[in-house]
Amino acid sequence: MAEHSESGGVSAVMEKISEKIQAHDSSSSSDYDSETDSEKPASVKAQIYRLFGREKPVHKVFGGGKPADVLLWRNKKISAGFLGGATAIWVLFELVEYHLLTLVCHVLILALAILFLWSNAHTFINKTPPRIPEVHLPEEPFLQVASALRIEINQGFAVLRNIASGRDLKKFLIVIAGLWVLSTVGTWCNFLTLFYISFVLLHSVPVLYEKYEDKVDPFAEKAMIEIKKQYLVFDAKVLCKIPKGPLKGKLA
């Protein structure tokens, strides 16, 4: 009887120890699961694909200043004013077929006539004469624009020289395809219509992308994967068979 009681006590102690171990294991596993769950959003965020590989918000990509506010319709009145003004100019020159020189001359004639009559008739109508401000264009902004334009032109020439040297076949094909597309679009419409279409797209596509980026980015990721696959096939079948670089070494 004593031995039976002792064995029963030992078994009870062993059961308690095993229960404690299982409880510790379950708590540690739950802690680990909670830690992994808390780490998941950060890893998921790090793995989210963004169009063109951007890491900043769309507003920061466009500079984050007033131009970005206009393009992303932060101030709807100003954005609508820009878009309405561009539409009016396009309708005036493209549909009505008004000429730029004629428009400038007519606007100047109207403005000068109103100011001249107002300046001479203010004594008869008992109103103060118009205050015509003195306009002086500062030199510094023009120099800054010219300097920035010079840098961009020099970079463009450097890129064209690099492409023409035959070192990067992929970039060469991209540039040729882009120029061909522009030449094709140029046969469909004139420069003013092309500029207006670009202006409208610039004021509509970014704001729509910012609103639906969570839906656009996964689709863009799938498209980029498919494009890369097709490019690898094209590279293996065509590009790898084209000799690269100058032929001076072979001729020597």
Unique residue bearing structure tokens 């009505």: 96
Q: Is the CB of residue 73 less than 8 Å from the CB of residue 79?
A: yes
What is the per-residue pLDDT for 33? 45
What is the per-residue pLDDT for 14? 54
Q: What value does the mean pLDDT take over residues 103-109?
A: 92
Q: Name, of 51-55, 80-84, 227-231, the range with top average pLDDT.
A: 80-84
Residue-wise pLDDT tens digits, 28-58: 444 444 444 444 444 444 456 677 667 778 8
Q: Is the CB of residue 71 less than 8 Å from the CB of residue 62?
A: yes
In 3-state terms, what secondary structure has residue 245?
A: coil
What is the per-residue pLDDT for 43? 45
Q: What value does the mean pLDDT take over residues 124-135?
A: 78
For residue 133, the 8-state DSSP code is P
Residue-wise pLDDT tens digits, 207-222: 998 888 888 888 888 8
Residue-wise pLDDT tens digits, 14-33: 555 555 545 544 444 444 44
Residue-wise pLDDT tens digits, 53-80: 677 788 888 777 888 888 888 889 999 9
Residue-wise pLDDT tens digits, 136-174: 888 888 898 899 899 999 998 998 888 888 777 778 888
Rounded Cα distance between 234 and 238, Å, is 6
For residue 96, the 8-state DSSP code is S
Q: Of 245 and 152, which is predicted with more confidence? A: 152
Instruction: Using only the alpha carbons of the chain, give its radius of gyration.
Output: 35
Q: Of 124 and 191, which is predicted with more confidence? A: 191
Provide the whole-model pTM. Answer: 0.58
Rounded Cα distance between 85 and 89, Å, is 6
